[in-house]
Structure 1
Amino acid sequence: MASILTENGACNERLDNPIHGRRHIRIICIGAGASGLLFAYKLQRSFDNFSLTIYEKNDGVAGTWFENRYPGVACDYPAHNYTYTFEPKPDWPSVYASGSQIRGYFEEFRSKYDLGKYCRTNHEVIFAEWKEEQGEWHTQIRDLTTGRTLDETCHILINAAGVLNEAQWPNIPGLQEFRGQLIHSAKWNQDVDLKGKRVGLIGNGSSGQQILETIQPIVGHLTSFIRQGAWVFGPFGPSPPRDYSESEIKDFKHTPGALLELRKQSETRVNHSFGFFISSSPAQAKMRSHLTQAMKRKLQNAALESIIIPTTGVGCRRPTPGIHYLESLTAPNVTVVQGPISEIVPSGCVSRTGALHALDVLICATGFNTSYVPRFPLLGRGGANLQDRWATEPAAYFATAAADFPNHLIFYGPGNPWASGSFLSMIECQADYMLKLVDRYQTENMHSFAPKREAVADLMAHSKRILAKTVWAEGCSSWYKNNGVGAKRTRHAGSLGTQGEEMRLSEAESLMLWPGSGLHFVEAMAEVRADDWEIVYRGNRFEWLGNGFSRTETDPESDVAWYMREKDDGPFLSREKRRRLATRKGAFGGDREGRLGGMAL
């Protein structure tokens, strides 16, 4: 007896099939970076009777790692942990991977699992609109090769475009008047020759630091324009950075558990980090004292120390590894200029003191547009445009969905654990959550699902109160915040009690972070809280029960008495016992129920 429904199967067709009949679903995914490829892999692994198209604006996969090719581009996280949890790469050549090596990892992942069949590169989604009556998304996609516009529909729209994909040029008067070579770190000109040139560099985040320490030895003179200091950690993992030996790589490949243990050690460091970012914690004070002294030892220059060492807490702005950055700042061919640039003229940059810094090349390492506002009109229920909705205060449910935008799911949306979790592990958690919703949609007669407005509002209110206690709520300019510094400096009903605490709560309003650790995010996302979701059905909500037959009794390969057993080996029914089982020490490997990639905490 068939259990797969046709794409346009009417609700009453379910009455002719066993319980949980699977209808055909059409899914469009925006972006073939780490999140888009992961979603395709997990969908392919667990589902059938679907169609998936991933539209990618670039000429290849890997997202930000395809686009960023500036000198020194690398991941500041240990290479063995910048992988999917289930897809290790034992032959990373060094502790930290270059941008091209990471791009290669995602290209290999695409090829290994035949995910390229879903990808359409050089295609950019330019419009999407929810059609309530049909229960579908209508999208427009521009073919960047031919210029033609395609019209496509889908039941579920996945946004895996991320936020590190649109270069943010600095808002400085006269920028386009510069007559030398003007380059953005995210749009690097591979033909530029920096040897012996007078180079200006705007920005001292991770990209700016990597560029500076790479080009400093070859340029004639480098002027680094810095608006605010940055806490320089050094390597986030093993130190110093080095290549792996042949024997180590052999061990990672052939000794059971050797590589897994190394990966767990690095992940453990990240999973203990949240406590450091509580403003009043002894851990924050200790770390701040340690980093201050370490940076002073490298700089050995009081003037530079006053510019580079921040006055805000460690972590307010994303810490940077800066492996050789501080030493490079002290080189004789480097000048550090503090404060914003007043204007840019054809021959160079004018500092706030009025001094002209003549340049041949100006590099803007000024990051990305991290506002979360969609890059195209995205119209939801009632014609609401997410561009307008998120223009002032992006608000998402568990960084994954927005109220009034049905069947639309987002990777690493507003409120994600950027600052306290491991990126690839967190998107796996999100992918699993999304596919639980997809499973219900496919096997029930659902028309649509979207988080309730009140659920999103409550989550935002809770987040602000927790985040107000962290260093992230201090007055630094950070891409963790909406619109930069973001301090609104307003008083609220329900304040924390004192004026200082009110100010921190006001500062926290602009934070686009998860109110806790990465592991906290994982446990919160372990199950779908149905009461937080507005679910609309087609017809009778119980038509998914079908014709009275079980899927199992109509499957000749199934054991219809599968639940009979000699001992109780079923899953625990309390969250706490499931958590203990999943996380107990020494239980890593394939024998543990409830790990990431299917977590049932």
Structure 2
Amino acid sequence: MVLKSFASPEWRLDKPIHTERPVKVICIGAGASGLQLAYKLQKHVSGFSLTVYEKNPEVSGTWYENKYPGCACDVLSHNYTWSFEPKTDWSGLYPASQEIYTYFNDFADKYGLRQYIKTQHQVVGARWTGSGWNVSIKDLTTGETVNDTCDVLVNAGGVLNNWKWPDVSGLDKYKGTLLHTANWDEAVDLKGKTVGLIGNGSSGIQILPAIQPLAEKITVFMRRPTWVSPLPGFEGRQYTDEEKRRFAEEPGHLLAYRRNAERGNSSILPVFIKGTDANNNIRDYMLKAMEEKLAGNKELEEKLIPTFALGCRRLTPGTGYLEALGEPNVQVVFSGVTEVTEQGCKCEDGTEHQVPDVLICATGFDASYRPRFPIVAGNKNLQDVWAQDPESYLGLAAADFPNYLMMLGPNSPVGTGALLIPIEAQVDYIVKMIDHWQTHNIRSFTPDAAAVRDFVAHKDQFMTKTVWADPCKSWYKSGSSKDKITALWPGSNLHYLETIRQVRFEDWKFEYEGNRFTYLGNGKSQTETNPDADFAYYVREEDDDLPLARNKMTRIINKTGSVIVAEGTGEGVLLAGI
């Protein structure tokens, strides 16, 4: 709650310009995004109060929740870190979920972020009061609902966090053990069991090779083809002790390795543009590699290899997946499941397949972006507004919902490179908005509805030239082949970083408490509040200013001229971000 002495902007009249007022922030979720927000508020902002409400017993979000066999990230391990927080001892090329959980858990401990976090507290509603947010939170340990208030509400609840069962009848009839990959029971033993596996998205592709050696028989149900990106020589590759020693001990070695791979991450946009050499060449490579991995099984080739463009659905490295499909104990059923019975699954052709012991649903998440709880401002509920087409401002905010910011909102860059770097950029943007609120007598800020419409129109036009617009069913389109592309940014990761580096205040509507110029205060500068500051700091022997123009400043930020040959490692160029 804002202190009463700060309720009126008049207190600023006897303070220097840009005096910060206290700000209270509530963040929903302590996954990667919530932890990064806590870190940067602690580092950059004065006079803030932060509470991060997390529904799980631990931090790390999806990497705490997803514990199924084979669960891993499909981005190179050394590029799935914060830009400033490398990890020298990743075990291998692709990080397993437990290692990633440890990385974020250690990050929270290292920087003392747990002081802001309340675990097992789930936000169930939020309402704008006209000057702040009333937030309802359910204490999952007691079942009690409590209320809290804040000036700024940040939703860092994640994109792939709200897992879903398959849309079929009879799940409650199944007599065996029913599992979802995102709610895995580690006590379940699959040895010698007859198992059903529904789905061939990323989770299904990862889990099959991990459980195939254990089960007596696995029946894999898949409705549609998918591109799998197998890369000979890199499957299951583990770092040697010598490699890890060099990462840890040789100055600059790990930094060079990470940057080299990241150049591959930052160069993959042409892969997703229709008709480019990059897309055609990698498609040809993937086609040949998949055919080789399927070892002449013409039925699998015909039904598993897509006709839609490579990249229309998110690719996954798929280590061992194609080989597992051809193992004697694996049966592949190319038919959608329409009903779950007591002993198995009935498919579209009416055939019932017996999988009496364990049924695993690798059926993904609700990626519709529709909030899981009411977020109400005035007479509008964001659940209703986004029921069909979620439309955001640059993935960060929603029109008509004041002082509400989000991480990884609709059309954030989730498909063109490692995700953590854009998360950092989004947090930087949010910190700038909070700082602006603190140093001015602003009551509320919200993106202008016209700016949101224009952004969405530009996004839709851009997407027509991408492979994502091909007729494939993908969570990029909220799961439908006909829906608009709601998950992806219209450009590269670097494009996004440059887009949101500076706040376009002209795209925002601000409401003020009293005279907007009250922030000018008592006529004194912040410099004059620091007796050890140089009151003549602007008197110099030469003009050493940084560039004022955007593009010249960008050349300094991106270290133009520092790279002679920007070649990928092979690992980075071929794998990163796809």
- Which TM bucket (shorter chain)? over 0.9
**1:415-430 → structure 2 map (5 Å cutoff):** 415-430=411-426
Alignment partner, residue 546 of structure 1 = 521
Q: TM-score, normalized by length of structure 1?
A: 0.91
CA drift of 1:431 comes to: 0.5
**1:264-303 → structure 2 map (5 Å cutoff):** 264-299=259-294, 300-303=296-299
Alignment partner, residue 495 of structure 2 = 520
User: Is 1:258 aligned to residue 256 of structure 2?
Assistant: no
Q: What do you get for the CA RMSD once the two structures are aligned?
A: 1.6
**1:181-580 → structure 2 map (5 Å cutoff):** 181-234=177-230, 239-299=234-294, 300-359=296-355, 360-380=357-377, 382-487=378-483, 509-580=484-555
| Alpha carbons 2:52, 2:116 under 8 Å: kept | yes
CA drift of 1:575 comes to: 1.6
Q: Please state whether the residue corresponding to 2:527 is helix, strand or coil.
A: coil
Alignment partner, residue 20 of structure 1 = 18
* Equivalences, count: 560
In structure 2, the CA distance between the partners of 1:511 and 1:164, relative to structure 1 (3 Å rule), is: closer
Q: Distance in 2 between matches of 1:277 and 1:163?
A: 21
In structure 2, the CA distance between the partners of 1:19 and 1:209, relative to structure 1 (3 Å rule), is: same
Q: Please state whether the residue corresponding to 1:350 is helix, strand or coil.
A: strand
CA drift of 1:524 comes to: 0.6
Q: Distance in 1 between matches of 2:126 and 2:454?
A: 28
Q: Distance in 1 between matches of 2:420 and 2:466?
A: 24
Alignment partner, residue 558 of structure 2 = 583
Q: Deviations over 1:239-263 (max 9, x none)?
A: 2432222222221122221111111
| Alpha carbons 1:130, 1:136 under 8 Å: kept | yes
Q: Please state whether the residue corresponding to 1:242 is helix, strand or coil.
A: coil
AA paired with 1:73? C
Q: Please state whether the residue corresponding to 2:282 is helix, strand or coil.
A: helix
In structure 2, the CA distance between the partners of 1:287 and 1:5, relative to structure 1 (3 Å rule), is: same
CA drift of 1:353 comes to: 2.3
Q: Distance in 2 between matches of 1:566 and 1:241?
A: 58
AA paired with 1:582? I
Alignment partner, residue 30 of structure 1 = 28
Q: Deviations over 1:554-597 (max 9, x none)?
A: 21121112222222221111122112222235649xxxxxxxxx
Moved more, 572-581 or 440-449: 572-581
Percent identity between the two aligned chains: 48
| Alpha carbons 1:483, 1:510 under 8 Å: kept | no
CA drift of 1:233 comes to: 1.0
| 4+ residue segments displaced more than 4 Å | 4-7, 585-588
AA paired with 1:334? V
Q: Deviations over 1:149-208 (max 9, x none)?
A: 111100000000112211111001222221111100000111111111111101111111
AA paired with 2:24? R
| Alpha carbons 1:37, 1:115 under 8 Å: kept | yes
Alignment partner, residue 87 of structure 1 = 85
Q: Distance in 2 between matches of 1:250 and 1:566?
A: 47
Q: Distance in 2 between matches of 1:67 and 1:222?
A: 24
Q: Please state whether the residue corresponding to 2:310 is helix, strand or coil.
A: coil
| Alpha carbons 1:235, 1:241 under 8 Å: kept | no
CA drift of 1:486 comes to: 2.5
Q: Distance in 1 between matches of 2:511 and 2:7?
A: 17
Q: Distance in 2 between matches of 1:173 and 1:186?
A: 20
User: Is 1:11 aligned to residue 9 of structure 2?
Assistant: yes
| Alpha carbons 2:391, 2:452 under 8 Å: kept | yes
Alignment partner, residue 490 of structure 1 = none
Q: Please state whether the residue corresponding to 1:463 is helix, strand or coil.
A: helix
**1:135-174 → structure 2 map (5 Å cutoff):** 135-174=131-170
AA paired with 1:63? G
Q: Distance in 1 between matches of 2:45 and 2:242?
A: 40
| Alpha carbons 2:75, 2:418 under 8 Å: kept | no
Q: Distance in 2 between matches of 1:587 and 1:152?
A: 49
Q: Distance in 2 between matches of 1:283 and 1:311?
A: 17
AA paired with 1:8? F
| Alpha carbons 1:473, 1:511 under 8 Å: kept | no
| Alpha carbons 2:230, 2:289 under 8 Å: kept | no
Q: Please state whether the residue corresponding to 1:141 is helix, strand or coil.
A: strand
Q: Distance in 1 between matches of 2:228 and 2:479?
A: 24
Q: Deviations over 1:50-97 (max 9, x none)?
A: 100000000000000000110111112111111100101112222221
| Alpha carbons 2:8, 2:513 under 8 Å: kept | no
Alignment partner, residue 599 of structure 1 = none
| Alpha carbons 2:425, 2:500 under 8 Å: kept | yes
AA paired with 1:220? E
Q: Deviations over 1:30-53 (max 9, x none)?
A: 000000000000000011111000
Q: Please state whether the residue corresponding to 1:542 is helix, strand or coil.
A: helix
Stretches of structure 1 that go unaligned for 5 or more consecutive residues are 488-508, 589-601
CA drift of 1:480 comes to: 0.4
Alignment partner, residue 499 of structure 1 = none
Stretches of structure 2 that go unaligned for 5 or more consecutive residues are 564-578
AA paired with 1:162? G
AA paired with 1:51? S
Q: Distance in 1 between matches of 2:231 and 2:118?
A: 37
Moved more, 346-355 or 141-150: 346-355
Moved more, 213-222 or 159-168: 159-168
Q: Please state whether the residue corresponding to 1:90 is helix, strand or coil.
A: coil
Q: Distance in 2 between matches of 1:286 and 1:414?
A: 30
| Alpha carbons 2:168, 2:337 under 8 Å: kept | yes
Q: Distance in 2 between matches of 1:309 and 1:350?
A: 24
Q: Please state whether the residue corresponding to 1:285 is helix, strand or coil.
A: helix
Q: Deviations over 1:294-339 (max 9, x none)?
A: 1001102110011211110011000111011000100001111112
Q: Distance in 2 between matches of 1:96 and 1:110?
A: 22
User: Is 1:119 aligned to residue 114 of structure 2?
Assistant: no
Q: Distance in 1 between matches of 2:237 and 2:277?
A: 32
Q: Distance in 1 between matches of 2:544 and 2:110?
A: 35
Moved more, 347-356 or 404-413: 347-356
| Alpha carbons 1:9, 1:23 under 8 Å: kept | no
AA paired with 1:367? G
CA drift of 1:344 comes to: 1.6
